[in-house]
Amino acid sequence: MSWVLVFVANEDYLNKAFQTVYEVRTIGQWTDDIILLTTAAIAAKPENTLLCSSLNVQFRILPVHDFSKTLDFLNSKQQHINSHYVKNRMFQFMKFYIMDPWFKKWDIVFYMDAGVKVQGDLNRMKAACNPCYSLIAHSDSYPEYEKTLETQFEFSIDSDISERLLMTYNLKCDYFQSTILIFDTKIIEEGTVDRLFELMNLYPIMTRNDQSILNLHFICERGLWKPLEKADSIGFLYDFHERPGFDRSDYLLMKYPIKYLL
What are the structural domains, with CATH classification, of the chain?
A: 3-261 (3.90.550.10)
- With contact defined as beta carbons under 8 Å apart, do 227 and 139 qualify? yes
pTM, two decimals, is 0.95
Q: Are strands 117-118 and 251-254 parallel, antiparallel or unpaired?
A: antiparallel
* CB neighbour list of residue 2: distance below 8 Å, 6 or more residues apart: 32, 33, 105, 106, 107, 108
What pLDDT, on a 0 to 100 scale, did the predictor assign at position 262? 46
Give 149's strand partners: none
Backbone angles phi, psi at 35, to 5 degrees: -115, 135
Calculated CA dihedral for residues 20, 25, 31, 36, nearest 10 degrees: 30
The rounded average pLDDT for each run of 10 residues, N- to C-terminus, in the chain (262 residues) is 98 97 99 99 98 98 96 83 82 98 99 98 98 98 97 94 98 98 99 98 94 99 99 98 94 86 48
